Structure formats: C-alpha cells, structure tokens
Amino acid sequence: MSKAGSDLVEATSPRDGVRVVSLNRPSKRNALSGPLMAEFLACLAQASQDADVKVIVVTGNGPFFCAGADLVDIAALDSAGARSCRYLEDLCHGMEAVRKPLVAAVNGPALGGGFELALMVMFLLSFGRKGELSFSWQCDVMLASTTAYFALPETQRGLIPGAGGTQRLTAAVGKFRVA
C-alpha cells in the first residue's frame, strides 16, 4: 500500500487502481478548514489525472466522516476575509473537475458541510454560464457505516447550508423524504 498526502489529508492506494483520500483532522472531527480543503482538492486532482487510478474513495480518519466547517477557522476571518472566502466554491469546482468514479465511504457522522461533501461526491449540482441548473451524478455508491448519520444542523439555527445541501439532499432522496 502506498501512502501520500499531508497532515490534513491522507492519500493511500490500498489496491491497484484504488485511491483513498481521507480527511485527516480526527481531533477536530475532520472539520473543513481552508487549508484542509486546498489539500483535499489537490489530492483529488492528482488522483483524477493519474492513469493508474480507476476509482477514488473519499472518507474521514477517526470516528467522524466530517463535522462540517471549522467554526474556529471561520470566526477568525475579518469582514474582508469572509467576503473573499471562496473555499466552498473552490470545493464545488474541484469536485466537478474529477473525471474518475467516486465512492463516499461515510465512516461516521456527516454534519453540515460534511454532509454536503458526501452529497457532492454523490452528485454535482452546477450552474452553466447562462445560469441554467444541471445535475451530474458522480458516484456509483455511497457507503455508510452503522455509526454514520447525516444532518444539516445549521438549518435549525435559521442558516442556509453554504454548499447547496438542501438542494442536493432533495435531489438525492426526493422532496417528500426530506425532513
């Protein structure tokens, strides 16, 4: 098994043709920070361009898949930094650029942005140049462990999921199953 990546994201190849990209901040429940997302996208881009990689598995290290946005990271932004912050947009575009089959291996709770990431692996919601909405399915399988659960807790506080989670969830399971 080969291993690459950094402190925040780990990329392994447990078998020929398989690249596992793991969020690696277990002490922070794999919370999404700007640096983590940049490294995650770099690992995905490298795997997508590697001719030896046939499938990419996205998962989290530790008991959480991903707890969502790193609120400490967000709270540290000043108003100019918050206005110029584009990492969710970068995440959407980076995921859309992947040209290999993706599998979401949800090994624990997927909350907020973590749930949105799992949904993003499942399919991509994109807007064309003229604003038209399109869906492109990216995932053959989403696997969830017995400890996995999914939630968009920000909606209970009157906040809108930042990466289109409500639209992705409705498209994935149908509008009558979303509660």
Measure the CA–CA gap between 82 and 30, rounded to whole angstroms.
21
Catalytic-role residue among 10, 39, 89, 116? 116
Q: Which residue has the tokens 């030896």?
A: 52
Dihedrals phi, psi of 174, to nearest 5 degrees: 100, 145
Per the structure block, which two tokens stand in for 13? Answer: 């190849």
Measure the CA–CA gap between 121 and 28, rounded to whole angstroms.
21
Helix (H) or strand (E) holding 137: strand 133-137
Helix (H) or strand (E) holding 86: none
Quick check: is 132 catalytic?
Answer: no
Strand partners, 19: 56
Measure the CA–CA gap between 166 and 172, rounded to whole angstroms.
10
| The one-letter amino acid at 123 | F
Which of the residues are catalytic?
116, 154
